[in-house]
Amino acid sequence: RFIAKPCALGLKVQANGPQKAQPNAILEKVFTAITKHPDEKRLEGLSKQLDWDVRSIQRWFRQRRNQEKPSTLRKFCESMWRFTFYLYIFTYGVRFLKKTPWLWNTRQCWSGYPYQPLMPDLHYYYIVELSFYWSLMFSQFIDVKRKDFGIMFTHHIVAVTLISFSYVTNLTRVGTLILCLHDAADIVLEAAKMANYCKCQKLSDLLFLTFAVVFIVSRLGIYPLWILNTTLFELYEALGNFPAFWVFNVLLMVLQILHCLWSYLIIKAAYKAISKGKVAKDSRSDVESSSDEEETVPRSKAPHSTVATNGTSGANGTNGYLTGATSSEEH
């Protein structure tokens, strides 16, 4: 509110949200109580009831759906907050791990286990990370839902469970390695989003491709070869079989499956960025649009208007919109 918003306005980030649909009690009732995507039959019924043409009713529903999406300013502020947190906690993690013997020798994670002292710096690192992931899990139900809501919710549950379980069982040394490794890519992702909201497309593309490389290298390369190697093999060699060993590693494997799913989505988006020269947008910013988006006042039905309600057969027909339009208003 006091830092991110002034920064966004200074960077000329659009403060207004999507264009609002004009108030209409009948359409609002259908939208909230029945359906947000009316079919052909319902559109025709509403057209007769309101004396609007089908195209105007389609436009109203599109604008009403877009109205529920967050503004660019709100998304910029959210990304700036997360960027600030990830940058701070990653810097703190690197500075802390540089002083530890287990950064370069992961076998030190199990030296003297379970009688390893809990250092104040490590305790602080854990508590801050745990509180952040709790906040992410709860805020998912308050914020506008993303397309990957299910995957993200699963990730947050696994993250909170892993952090809590490793803290309770004193597997905190390897936990710090996992936390620091995961924060690296998130910094670049939030920076790419902010550049996109500021309409710095080239910078956004560069940052997104950098994020893709960092994510894949860290999550599909370093994570299994460094983290899973020590938790599956070095831990077993040092301490043998015990219940926490299986619970901890099952959670880490679930995390790796999520990494694979995200990597697939990221590679698709990176390919789109390279082939089309534009990074895929944040899934929450997909505002439905068409060439008639500027038209705000519904037109009354006229005998000479040619309206298609469900697809068109003419060469100029586009998904149920007016065909053969010649007036400047239609264009």
Query: For residue 297, what pLDDT is reported?
Result: 42
Domain end call among 261, 278, 295: 278
Q: What is the CATH number of the domain that holds 44?
A: 1.10.10.60
Query: For residue 18, what pLDDT is reported?
Result: 66
Whether residue 90 is contained in a domain is answered as yes
Same domain? 230 vs 130: yes
Whether residue 118 is contained in a domain is answered as yes
Whether residue 138 is contained in a domain is answered as yes
Same domain? 147 vs 204: yes
Task: Give me the amino acid identity at 151.
Answer: I
Same domain? 107 vs 232: yes
Whether residue 13 is contained in a domain is answered as no
Same domain? 53 vs 180: no
Whether residue 284 is contained in a domain is answered as no
Same domain? 34 vs 129: no
Q: Is the peptide bond before 114 cis (omega within 30 degrees of 0)?
A: yes
d(CA 281, CA 284): 8
- Look-up: residue for tokens 């950098």? 210
Whether the CB-CB separation of 255 and 157 falls below 8 Å is answered with no
Same domain? 217 vs 248: yes
Q: What is the pLDDT of residues 33-80, one digit of tens each?
A: 888 888 888 888 888 888 888 888 888 888 888 776 778 888 899 899
- Look-up: residue for tokens 């895929």? 280
Same domain? 143 vs 62: no
**Range(s) of the domain holding residue 260:** 72-278
Same domain? 48 vs 147: no
Provide the domain count of the chain.
Answer: 2
Count CA within 13 A, CB hemisphere, residue 243: 2
Whether residue 115 is contained in a domain is answered as yes
Query: For residue 281, what pLDDT is reported?
Result: 52
SS (H, E, C) the chain: CCCHHHHHHHCCCCCCCCCCCCCCHHHHHHHHHCCCCCCHHHHHHHHHHHCECHHHHHHHHHHHHHHCCCCHHHHHHHHHHHHHHHHHHHHHHHHHHCCCCCCCCHHHHHCCCCCCCCCHHHHHHHHHHHHHHHHHHHHCCCCCCCCCHHHHHHHHHHHHHHHHHHHHCCCHHHHHHHHHHHHHHHHHHHHHHHHHHCCCHHHHHHHHHHHHHHHHHHHHHHHHHHHHHHHHHHHHHHHCCCHHHHHHHHHHHHHHHHHHHHHHHHHHHHHHHHHHCCCCCCHHHCCCCCCCCCCCCCCECCCCCCCCCCCCCCCCCCCCCCCCCCCCCCC
Query: For residue 106, what pLDDT is reported?
Result: 95
Same domain? 102 vs 115: yes
Name every residue whose Cβ is closer than 8 Å to that of residue 172 and which is 6 or more positions away in sequence: 116, 118, 122, 126, 166
Query: For residue 174, what pLDDT is reported?
Result: 96
Q: What is the pLDDT of residues 243-272, one digit of tens each?
A: 999 999 999 999 999 999 999 989 988 888
**105 C-beta neighbours (distance < 10 Å), count:** 12
Whether residue 319 is contained in a domain is answered as no
Whether the CB-CB separation of 319 and 77 falls below 8 Å is answered with no
Whether residue 195 is contained in a domain is answered as yes
The pTM (predicted TM-score) of the whole model is 0.73
Same domain? 45 vs 93: no
- Look-up: residue for tokens 């002083």? 99
Domain end call among 50, 68, 86: 68
Same domain? 90 vs 57: no
- Look-up: residue for tokens 């439905």? 288
d(CA 265, CA 261): 7
Point out the residues of the chain with pLDDT beneath 70: 16-18, 68, 143-146, 277-331
Same domain? 196 vs 148: yes
CA 96 vs CA 6, 164, 177, 324: distances in Å: 33, 20, 10, 67
